[in-house]
Amino acid sequence: MAIKLGVLISCSGTNLQAIIDAIAAGQLDATVELVVSSRPDAYGITRAQQAGINVLVLNKEVYKDRLAADAQIAQALKEAGCEYVAMAGYMRMVNAPLLEAFPNRIINLHPALLPSFKGAHAIQDAFDAGVKITGVTVHFANAEYDKGPIIAQEPVEVREGDTVDDLEARIHETEHRLYPAALQLVALGRVTVTPDFKVSIAQ
């Protein structure tokens, strides 16, 4: 049975599009019931509307009270019937009202191999550090920023002569493949969080 997703976005929505495309291709057993955008100018809103998905659009005023904003989001996701929440380029930390409404059911995508290069500038930080390998992480969100239990990771090579734009393009290409695949593991019921906050994936 398909899982019902809510997707949180802030920007262009390319990972939202990857989820939509994977569902259409039969590679992800899910439906997107609601898209929540933290910004009214995010192009991901257009992507959602083109796919016939309902959208909740927020703005800076709403986020002046972060807890109230997350309570509003949680209520909207619950009313839409969402079972899991996928953060797809969502540039805000989720707080207690969302975490408590969806315990171990909020999934985040991070453009580095956590625990390395946490934060909002992970691609630039990895590039500036001169590492030869960075990558992509899919993990459950929790109260600690970029520290939740890891579902999947994939390395991405930093090649000789790369610009940061070259690296970013390969990171995004990996994201668009890895995120739907990790969500499919969740949809199949193969992913559980153990009492010691690790991820167990059933074969």
Using the structure block, give the residue that is written with the tokens 């390969």: 170
Question: What is the C-alpha separation between 69 and 160, in angstroms, rounded?
Answer: 44
Residues 153, 201, 28: CA angle, nearest 5 degrees:
75
Per residue in 89-100, is it b (16+ CB within 10 Å) or e — as a string?
bbebbbbebbbe
Supply 1's token pair.
């049975």
Supply 68's token pair.
């109230």
Question: What is the C-alpha separation between 15 and 201, in angstroms, rounded?
Answer: 23
Reported as type and span, the H/E element at residue 44 is helix 44-50
Q: Which of 110, 139, 172, 176 is catalytic?
A: 110
Active site residue 121: no
Supply 115's token pair.
């625990």
**What are the start-end ranges of the E strands in 3-112?**
3-9, 30-37, 55-57, 84-87, 106-110
User: Is 193 strand, coil or helix?
Assistant: strand
Supply 95's token pair.
């707080």
Name the residues annotated as catalytic: 110
